[in-house]
Amino acid sequence: MKENENILNSSESYKAYMDSPYMSMKHDSYFHVYDYLFRKYKNKNITFVEVGILQGGSLFMWRKFFGPKARIIGIDLNEKAKKWSEYGFEIYIGSQSDEAFWQEIRHEIGPIDILLDDGGHTYDQQIITFESMIDNINDGGLLVVEDTHTSYMSGFGPKQFTFTNFCKEMLDNINQRFGGFNARYEEKRIWSMEVFESIIAFKVDRSLSNIKSTATENNGLSEDVHEYRYSDNVSIEIFKSLAKKFYYFKKYRILYSIFIKIQSHLATRNFKSKKFFGRN
């Protein structure tokens, strides 16, 4: 506990949180994540949006953390949150799971540097907020979703559509940008995704995420060397050389599928990392 306190006291966002005159509730593991993600935006002319602000405390925390130049916007379903506009915050009332609400306010809000989702934490709320607002995030900006542990709890939506399952699809779709693939869908709206305990952050950089990768080579000297990449799984190595030699197998579909099945069986049998799967 003492150790936790020392770690917390070294966090700038934690200090701002403790100094807030109104109530805010955050998990203690979040503060160093905020520091790490948000530090570079301090004392800048940025637009920061937080979804879920009813008690008001976090609005004051962000104002203190980012400084007076920041435009701080709060969104909540509860009408009562409107009162925070008296303190210089911009407040919008509506539901984050309502696409029409976002449609209505996204032009008024305009481009955003950081959107932090600390609303109701259901999968629909998290996913619809992401889908509705990701195109409003500036290049170099962030969309950060908090309390993603709800994906492992009941009462937040259907289990096949958890927020973390949505992120797993995103991970797959980011990798579809690889130049050798010709996928139906590539994720180009975000450049990267970073995972912390209970927080997932998406970084937006359109020029980087629109690169269709191609192989490059430098002009260094090259020797004729053997590629050892597959030599630690003999079955893959054998398969690769057989596949090259017997490429015409492909025409004989049944024969080829037997060949593939044998190869995949042998590759799995010799796969050393099996023990690192299924830890939970």
Ligand X SMILES: C[S@@+](CC[C@H](N)C(=O)[O-])C[C@H]1O[C@@H](n2cnc3c(N)ncnc32)[C@H](O)[C@@H]1O
For ligand X, give the closer residue by CB, 53 or 133. Answer: 53
Please give the full DSSP string across 21-61, using - where no structure is assigned.
SS-----GGGHHHHHHHHGGGTTS--EEEEE--TTSHHHHH
> Judged by CB under 6 A, does residue 32 bind ligand X?
no
- What is the tally of helices (H) and strands (E) in the chain? 10, 7
Can you say how many angstroms the Cα of residue 198 is from the centroid of all Cα atoms in its chain? 11
Sheet with strand 192-196: strands edge to edge: 90-93, 71-76, 47-51, 112-117, 137-146, 199-203, 192-196
Contact status: 77 vs ligand X (CB under 6 A): yes
Q: Is 119 in the site for ligand X (CB under 6 A)?
A: yes
1 binds ligand X (CB under 6 A): no
Decide if residue 120 touches ligand X (CB under 6 A). Answer: yes
Per rule CB under 6 A, is residue 157 in the interface with ligand X?
A: no
CA–CA gap between residue 183 and residue 175 (Å, rounded): 10
Name which of 146 and 187 has its Cβ closer to ligand X: 146
Q: Shortest distance, CB of residue 70 to ligand X, whole angstroms? A: 16
> CA dist 23 to 61, 77, 95, 253, Å?
10, 18, 22, 67
Q: Is 18 in the site for ligand X (CB under 6 A)?
A: no
How far, in Å, CA of 171 to CA of 76, rounded?
A: 29
For ligand X, the binding residue among 7, 15, 95, 188 (CB under 6 A) is 95
Of 4-12, 44-52, 148-156, 245-253, the window that binds ligand X (rule: CB under 6 A) is 44-52
Contact 129, 153 (CB under 8 A): no
The CA R_g of the chain, rounded to the nearest whole Å, is 25
Place of tokens 């994906």: 151
Nearer to ligand X, 100 or 208 (CB): 100
Single residue of 57, 134, 205, 236 touching ligand X by CB under 6 A: 57
Q: Which is nearer to ligand X, 118 or 187 (CB)?
A: 118
Is residue 167 part of the contact set for ligand X (CB under 6 A)?
Answer: no
Handedness of CA 1, 4, 16, 50 (dihedral sign): negative
**54 near ligand X, judged by CB under 6 A:** yes
Q: How far is CA 242 from CA 229, 233, 246, 269, in A?
A: 16, 15, 6, 19
Site string for ligand X, 208-247 (x = CB under 6 A): ----------------------------------------
97 binding ligand X? (CB under 6 A)? yes
- Beta carbons within 8 Å of 202's beta carbon, 6+ residues apart: 130, 134, 142, 143, 144, 145, 190, 192, 193, 194
Closer residue to ligand X (CB): 64 or 177 = 64
Binding to ligand X (CB under 6 A) within 99-118 occurs at 118
Output the smallest distance, CB 28 to ligand X, in A.
13
| 141 near ligand X (CB under 6 A) | no
- Find the part of the chain contacting ligand X (CB under 6 A) among 72-80, 172-180, 197-205, 263-271: 72-80
Residue ranges that bind ligand X, judged by CB under 6 A: 24-26, 50-55, 57-58, 75-78, 95-97, 118-120, 125
